[in-house]
Amino acid sequence: MLNGLSTLGIDLYCHVARYFIVIDDVWDITTWNIIKSVLVENDTRSRVITTTRNRDVASMEEVYKLRTLSPDHSEKLFKTRLFGVNGEYPANHPAEACEKILKKCGGVPLAIITMASLLVGKLREDWFAVCNSPGFYRGQGNQQVDDTEWILSLSYYDLPSYLRTCLLYLSVYPEDIVIEKNSLIWKWIAEGFVEKKRGTSLLQQGEEYYNQLVNRSMIQAVESLHSMGINGCRVHDMVLDLIRDLSNKENFVTISSNDDEGKSPHQSRVRRLAHQNIIMKQTQQDDHMDMAQVRSLVAFRCDIDSWVLHPSFKLLRVLALLGCGGHWEGWQGLKHIGNLLHLRYLGLRRTNIRELPEEIGKLKFLQILDLEGSKVGQLPSSVCQLTQLVCLCGHSRYTCPPDGLFLRKVTSLEYLRIRIDNLDEESQRQFMKDLGNLREVRVLHIIGSLKGMVQSDLVHSLGNLHKLQHLELTKYNGNSEAATREWDRVHLRYLDLDSIPLRQLPSCINPVHLPVLHYLRLHVDHMDESSLRNLGGLTELRDLNLLTARPSMACAATAANINTAVDGFFKKLRYCLLHGWMVQLVLNEDSTGVSVSIWNGMGAIAFGSKTKDEYSRSIAPQPVMPNLQELLLYVPVRDFYKDGNGSCGDLRLECLPSLCSVIIFVDCMDASTNDVEKAEAELRNAAKLYPNGPIIRLQRLLEHRMMARSTDQDDKESVDVSAKEEERGASATGDEVAVTESGGDNPATPSC
């Protein structure tokens, strides 16, 4: 735990600075004493908070004991997990057993949720069986910890055997990390844990296993910040302790980490080896480990500079190097990879490995080649021999083998991300024609400019991909044919075509053609009411990215009189990023609905004119986009105030009941300093009207092209400079408004 901790640096820092440090999950007194030794006691009123489940550690200092849930709150959480929000017990509910089980949970949320997940769908007799289980009435030492561990163990043994194996595999991961969903499922597949069923792919079946573990509360789902829902998971520390203990007893996984430095493994015959934060060497484990049976080698953030693939790894199915570092010039770590005849998964995520050896073509059973975040340039031509390949996951740098025949031979792909702009037109056309034969492909990301007739070939092939769920075209530089031509889109959940400039929204972007779309990113220069309503009617849309360049003519679209209860306008939208677009919500005079307007910033438009009288402010706003949490929009100050009738204080964003964050790009180009400051002040004041107090961030664009303030203005305003500074300070702190400034022409999309 403490390796790599610069105690001298911390000691010097703590001598001179006031600090606030939180240390999570300290398990033993020795560790706490080491940490405490570098925390200097001084008169700076510093604070240190530690969390622990060990009473002996807690007794060393002042203790704040977290309260458990009350009986009423425990029962409410229990019922919610069993029967949903506002759910009630059925008529034949075993009340006596329920009371005993809740008492056993001791008000610990993890125990309550895990136990409820265990009992979902179980018969009345099963509830009493739990109460009669061996160990139900045990408990000594730390009663809450013992009871929670027993409940977790009970839930583990209630899993079907295939789920137990999948759960145990998570012990290869370090604690306190987010485990990427697809990467985990691919490893399960490579190990042979996932049994294919008729009518489903291995990846789909693996996702079903994953979801079962989530539903049973054995792993905690982590949602993507945007778009595609659950994309990872965490393992609670107590669950990880349980599966590591079981893995060790069953010799399922052997872990090698800095914390275990100098220790020999309990078992000499290794089946799965996980290296964590160590310096890996060729002979490091040879003396006391039998490597002949190793099926998985997983390394996290290790130094592999002097490591070479062990020659005895004959049965290896999974080789994953994640975030590993080293000096890569002339690195020979994978020189024996051609000997791994049973290898199914090769992962080089976030490493600086620059090339793959030609010997990779000997891996006839390889199913997953995961190069996400690596620096591999061009794929070797021998990848065409990987006929069992299901997933080729990479980054924007690596390119297709130059002959363009890759897909003619590799026909089992379900997941393909590849760059093809190194191919000539003839090779690109062949690539696209072969793409149409990949009838199982579900995820497709093509990077690179398409030449000549290649675009038509792409559209024709897309028409054959009836299982496609994810389509992304990057650096496309083509016409809009791929977006506007008719092809089957009913299974699409993710669509990113922002590199295709569209004059207007294609007619196929509508609820009928895209019934399950979650994520949409488009570059559109013109919108009308019909288009806006089509976007708002996408019933499953969670994330909308709408971009526009500086168009040649003004465009404004209004979807009028929206009744959210009837229309379901952007019903599930959580993130709305409008690059170059502005939005306003207008409460109709009869207060029966809301009108939504967007504008591309050309010419002046009288935003706010319908909301200026005080009567409209006294009416409770109609909720619209009920789940929207984050909004990014654009304010072109010069055009907005051109005719003197704009007001940034009248955007009526208080109609968005779930809004947490607003990011506003303030375009300063050719605008006066007065107008820019006026716009920013109005936006700050508008924050006071929001019922949930979302954070508003203002970012200036093209500030270097803002019109200089005149001398007369400077003289006039110098009188009030102190008052202005005070007002700004109060606004920034009281209204939770953060202002940043940028003079760049092309600001990066803010991280959200």
Q: Quote the pLDDT of residue 421.
A: 81
> Which pLDDT band holds residue 542 (cuts at 50, 70, 90)?
very high
> Which pLDDT band holds residue 252 (cuts at 50, 70, 90)?
very high
Residues 140 and 116 reside in one and the same domain: yes
- Residues ≥6 apart with Cβ < 8 Å to 613: none
Whether 690 is in a domain gets the answer yes
Distances (CA, A) of 499 to 301, 306, 473, 476, 714: 35, 42, 7, 6, 44
Alpha carbons 149 and 320: distance in angstroms, whole number = 31
Helix (H) or strand (E) holding 225: none
Q: Quote the pLDDT of residue 160.
A: 93
Alpha carbons 320 and 463: distance in angstroms, whole number = 35
> Which pLDDT band holds residue 69 (cuts at 50, 70, 90)?
confident
Burial classification of residue 192, based on how many CB atoms lie within 10 Å of its CB (0-12 exposed, 13-18 middle, 19 or more buried): exposed
Instruction: Work out the average pLDDT over 35-48.
Output: 71
> Which pLDDT band holds residue 749 (cuts at 50, 70, 90)?
very low
Helix axes 161-169, 181-191, angle to 10 degrees: 120
Burial classification of residue 207, based on how many CB atoms lie within 10 Å of its CB (0-12 exposed, 13-18 middle, 19 or more buried): middle
Alpha carbons 600 and 630: distance in angstroms, whole number = 20
Q: Model-level pTM?
A: 0.78
**The CA-based dihedral angle spanning residues 508, 513, 516, 521, taken in that order and rounded to the nearest 10 degrees:** -10
Q: Quote the pLDDT of residue 480.
A: 65
Alpha carbons 256 and 272: distance in angstroms, whole number = 11
Residue 342 has pLDDT above 50, yes or no: yes
Most confident residue range from 3-12, 261-270, 311-320: 311-320
Whether 256 is in a domain gets the answer no
Instruction: Work out the average pLDDT over 680-696.
Output: 79
Tokens for 303, please give them.
């130094």
Residues 53 and 24 reside in one and the same domain: yes
Whether 211 is in a domain gets the answer yes
> Which pLDDT band holds residue 136 (cuts at 50, 70, 90)?
low
Collapsing DSSP states into helix, strand and coil, what is residue 258? Answer: helix
Whether 348 is in a domain gets the answer no
Residue 181 has pLDDT above 90, yes or no: yes
Length of the chain equals 752
Q: Quote the pLDDT of residue 550.
A: 59
Whether 679 is in a domain gets the answer yes
Whether 425 is in a domain gets the answer no
Collapsing DSSP states into helix, strand and coil, what is residue 21? Answer: strand
Residues 662 and 737 reside in one and the same domain: yes
Residues 20 and 120 reside in one and the same domain: no
Residues 532 and 643 reside in one and the same domain: yes
Q: What is the mean pLDDT of the chain?
A: 77
Residues 45 and 104 reside in one and the same domain: no
Structural domain count of the chain: 4
Q: What range does the domain containing 216 cover?
A: 178-239
Residue 266 has pLDDT above 80, yes or no: no
Instruction: Work out the average pLDDT over 212-216.
Output: 91
Residues 102 and 191 reside in one and the same domain: no
Cβ(40)–Cβ(12) below 8 Å = no
Question: Which among 239, 254, 270 is the end of a domain?
Answer: 239
Residues 214 and 78 reside in one and the same domain: no
Residues 703 and 635 reside in one and the same domain: yes
* Half-sphere exposure in the Cβ direction for 4 (13 Å, CA): 7
The single residue listed with the structure tokens 């792409």 is 458
Residues 119 and 82 reside in one and the same domain: yes
Cβ(664)–Cβ(635) below 8 Å = yes
Collapsing DSSP states into helix, strand and coil, what is residue 33? Answer: helix
The single residue listed with the structure tokens 């002996």 is 56
Whether 726 is in a domain gets the answer yes
Residues 38 and 87 reside in one and the same domain: no
Q: pLDDT for 92-117, tens place per residue?
A: 778 888 888 888 888 888 888 888 88
Q: Quote the pLDDT of residue 233.
A: 93
Q: Quote the pLDDT of residue 737.
A: 35
Q: pLDDT for 140-162, tens place per residue?
A: 445 556 778 888 888 898 899 99
Alpha carbons 501 and 485: distance in angstroms, whole number = 15
